[in-house]
Structure 1
């Protein structure tokens, strides 16, 4: 299995420099990764660096807390698309979800999806902060809001993807949403375990070991 084509190569450290983004994009091209994921301020640079390649550009929105106003998320998403983003990863509003304010959770997601049209929208949960019922509800709302992916975590909380959580998500969304596994995945062998149970995308950073056994 060629794990490379599943990889969203990600650099979201707030101290990341332009040189870091250049290196990220060069590594993505060299390894044949699916995309790079960068902060919205670096979308235009990444798009320029990846011109005439198959590597897509993804931008995070409402990152990393998800608690910004929906209108702010919409504006940021529109700007990222204008700057060249192919995909948007938005963080769900955990406070609304835990308040059982499901109408606002739905509107938050659906307004961003409407703003970006046919571009791919991933909804980032923070699975380490949610119980099983909250994860299931977030998935159901994301389905209703016409998102394209559920993503397990931002990478900025205390935990990330587990095989158990991914199985819960898969059972809930079936084929209605794709799954992006983020957090705790440091090598190709681990990535393959997630892919084998139905994950379509893997978030990886610079410490990811792409070399894999045959």
Structure 2
């Protein structure tokens, strides 16, 4: 009977979406599952973060992972937007489109390298890190990853992106774009480091996706796909609701 009662609680909790209702039902679930031990808290949070970072990396590494996602799609560098406008105004839309596609393809290639970096950051977490994230603000895990993985991601991403930019033709397209633009009268030449720009945007996009996954598991009870996740995050909901 306890098993069926718990399933009923979980099913009902998915139907309601307000914060008050979430806190109410998470408290009931926590009572049914019990208070997690420190080991369970650590394992549960790390399990959630591994799920979230793996999913984010895989989604961005897929074809159109960047290009088809307006939240992370890489466009012309800010200082080169006038280049795009000028070239499109003289009918060079295809050239500009080729640049944008190639930038995003390079970022998608780089995203394949992210998983082990996040796994290592998760392994290095202290119990204090676990507690701060579990009971912290809704982007606490994302902020932790920004602090602990940004340098490693940049080191890993940049050579992959440099290689990919050449492979997919971005270097040539970008050279064509800047060459044509820089020949226009009275313009300031553009000399953007394309690999550095795409690396920064790829890392930004990775954290956008991780933030979405973090928010999902904090706010959506149905995203807590294992009994350990249900127990640990129900406890966190109860503690934050006090």
TM-score, structure 2 as length reference: 0.20
Q: Which has the bigger relative contact order, CA under 8 A and spacing at least 6? A: 2
Structure with greater strand percent? 1
TM-score, structure 1 as length reference: 0.22
Q: Is the radius of gyration larger for structure 1 or structure 2?
A: 2
